Amino acid sequence: MVMTDVPAKIVYERPEALDPRVTHYCPGCTHGVAHRLIAEVLDEMGETGNTIGVASVGCSVFAYNYFNIDFVEAAHGRAPAMATGIKRVYPDRTVFTYQGDGDLASIGMGEIVGAASRGEKITVIFINNANYGMTGGQMAPTTLPGQKTTSSPTGRDTDRQGFPIQTAELLSTLEGSAYIVRRSLHSSREIRRAKKAIRTAFEVQKHGLGFALVELLSTCPTNWGLTAAGARDWIEERMLPFYPLGDYKVSSAVAELKI
């Protein structure tokens, strides 16, 4: 068989916005997928050189290492406040936070609600993996009822340990929220949908329409004690019933956005 001289076409490459280095994330963890989606979107929008990221405390504490973007590192939970400070000084820059569930929905609940209620024109990428990953799998504000973690060893007892927080639903009630959606990273179909949502969330900022947040259901095979494939199934079977995917707030201005 003779090779015909077909011109090569690049169909997949590292986005400009991603730094070419090995991440510290566990095998099967979808943080890397989320990073890549953000990077692709910023490249496609031509915003990479105009963006300032705010990393948070949690597994993604070193996110700034993996993006080829100006970055700052916030104290635990305070990324939305820090992003507010930057965005107010630089209203024409794209500013986003990348936060996990312990960071955003527990210690940082005040800051995220404050930012959303002010209609702060920032984009928040919120990773929900139902536990504190970095510190070794403790109960998070998102841990499901009955879910075993290292600080709820017999399973989350809602009588003693309360109920998980449905962040997208909660923030969608605020007038300042322009775009609040939940997506998942457990299948290629959902990943494609997640990317579209991330794109919309950055466009919302670009058009000055208000606060935008994309909640992403994300795997944590190491702390869940599952294989990579098992972790994806766990999202499907356990998380989706409690954290339904969908659009929780799409303001009329956002609905009219043509992307």
Partner 1 sequence: MAKELIKGNTAVAEAALRAGLEAYFGYPITPQTELLEHLSARMPEIGRPFVQAESELGAINMVYGAACTGKRVMTSSSSPGVSLMMEGLSYIAGTEVPAVLVDVVRGGPGLGNIAPAQGDYNQIVHGGGHGDYHLLVLAPASVQEAVDLTALAFDLAEKYRHIVAILLDGSIGQMMEPAELPPMQPLKTDIPDWAVRGTDGGEKRVLTSINLDPPAQEVMNLRLMKRWQEIEKNEVRYKGYYIDDAEYVVVGFGTAGRISLSAVRAARELGIKVGLLRPITLAPFPKDVLDELTKKAKAFLVVEMNSGQMLEDVRLVVRGRKPVEFFGRMGGVVPYPDEVLTEIKRLVDGPLTTEGHPRDRWLTRLSETIG
Residues in contact with partner 1 by the rule CB under 8 A: 19, 48-52, 54-55, 61, 64-65, 67-75, 78, 81-86, 88-90, 93-94, 110-111, 113-114, 117-118
CB of 117 vs partner 1, minimal distance in Å:
8
Q: Is 200 exposed, middle or buried (0-12, 13-18, 19+ CB in 10 A)?
A: buried
> What is the Cβ-side half-sphere exposure of residue 186, based on CA atoms within 13 angstroms?
24
**Nearer of residues 19 and 44 to partner 1, judged by Cβ:** 19
Q: Residue 74, Cα to own-chain centre: how many angstroms?
A: 16
CB of 168 vs partner 1, minimal distance in Å:
20
Cα(231)–Cα(59) distance, integer angstroms: 17
**Nearer of residues 78 and 232 to partner 1, judged by Cβ:** 78
**Nearer of residues 58 and 221 to partner 1, judged by Cβ:** 58
CB of 28 vs partner 1, minimal distance in Å:
24
Q: Which amino acid is at 201?
A: A
Q: Residue 9, Cα to own-chain centre: how many angstroms?
A: 31
Q: Which residues pair with 252 in a beta bridge?
A: none
For 125, 141, 147, 258, the CA distances from 161, given in Å and listed in that order, are 26, 10, 11, 44
**Nearer of residues 89 and 229 to partner 1, judged by Cβ:** 89
CA angle, 161 as apex, 157 and 164 as ends, to 5°?
A: 90
**Nearer of residues 72 and 240 to partner 1, judged by Cβ:** 72
Q: Which amino acid is at 159?
A: D
Terminal Cα distance for the chain, rounded: 44
CB of 206 vs partner 1, minimal distance in Å:
13
CB of 121 vs partner 1, minimal distance in Å:
12
Cα(9)–Cα(128) distance, integer angstroms: 36
Cα(234)–Cα(184) distance, integer angstroms: 12
**Nearer of residues 114 and 155 to partner 1, judged by Cβ:** 114
CB of 182 vs partner 1, minimal distance in Å:
24
